[in-house]
Amino acid sequence: MEAAAGRGLDLAGPLRDLLPPVDFCCAYGSTLTHARPDGTSMVDYILGVADPLQWHSENLARNPTHYSSWMARRGPEAVTWLADRVGVGVYFNPFVEWGDKRIKYGVVAMKDLTADILTWDQFYLSGRLQKPVHVLVDNWDIRKVNTVNLKMAAAASLLLLPKEFTEHDLYAKICGLSYMGDIRMLFAEDKYKVKKIVDGSFQPFQLMYRPLIQEYISEGILKMSDYRQQKAFKQVLFLFHHTCTVKCIIDSLLRCLINLDDSSIT
């Protein structure tokens, strides 16, 4: 626990010492998931802010070198325009030096973050939050809508998996959802990227998805058994071409959405 607390404090350093305040922040990257990370690895941050124009205006005054010289000259209006028109609502500043580390941070409006989590419209931020991250600035609204995101990810993965599969298979399928159709996975990206992410974050995946697995077991969608020191599952309704599975999952998602509506996302 002490090591985890120290890591969280270390990750929060740029928020404390470098950047303007944010409403939500999570960190991720290979350096956080491997026991012996490469010293050159970069830590990535997603920053949710209420008003990107105001935030970039303040950040340009504080940290003009984080932006390209071309973008810094054009000001916060150009930054937010580029994010909305080209960058799926997110503007990234890469290769930022902080102490002896290198970080990359993406800035997104809270309303756009919430919308993507619920609709998978861009499937960039929602896909990232389907995988383990280190939440440094929590936000109750994001936490609530992400419960729907996790349910949808688990449901989609069940429909793509065979009748019998392991817990590792499930997390790999969930992890791979956001890479489906990504042409980089055919060429530039590491073809073992998904496996490495799941292997390096297996316990965090369990913390995220075990409650949903238990829900599907209790609803008769899955049966669980032990297989080589991990859990294995059988889709009970697989022979019905997933018709009943889809109905059960949709019913579960609708209940979750109704609960969200009743609690009124602000």
- In total, the chain counts a number of residues equal to 266
pLDDT tens for 7-55 read: 555 888 889 899 999 999 999 987 776 544 555 578 999 999 999 999 9
d(CA 125, CA 113) in angstroms, rounded, equals 7
11: closest CA among 124, 135, 125?
135
pLDDT tier at 241 (50, 70, 90 boundaries)?
Answer: very low
Q: Set out the domains of the chain in order of their start, with CATH numbers.
A: 2-138 (no CATH), 145-263 (1.10.10)
In the predicted model, what is the mean pLDDT of the chain? 83
d(CA 53, CA 13) in angstroms, rounded, equals 23
pLDDT at 35: 46
Three-class secondary structure of residue 49 per DSSP = strand
**What is the phi/psi pair of residue 105, to 5°?**
-130, 140
d(CA 161, CA 168) in angstroms, rounded, equals 12
d(CA 208, CA 76) in angstroms, rounded, equals 36
pLDDT tier at 226 (50, 70, 90 boundaries)?
Answer: confident
- β-bridge pairing 134-137 and 164-166: unpaired
CB of 47 closer than 8 Å to CB of 25: yes
Output the pTM of the full model: 0.84
DSSP characters for 190-252?
-TTHHHHHHHHTHHHHHHHHHHHHHHHHHTTSEEEEEETTEEEEEETTGGGTTHHHHHHHHHH
pLDDT tens for 165-209 read: 999 999 999 999 988 755 454 455 667 889 999 999 999 999 999
d(CA 93, CA 77) in angstroms, rounded, equals 16
Q: What is the number of H-type helices and E-type strands within the chain?
A: 12, 8
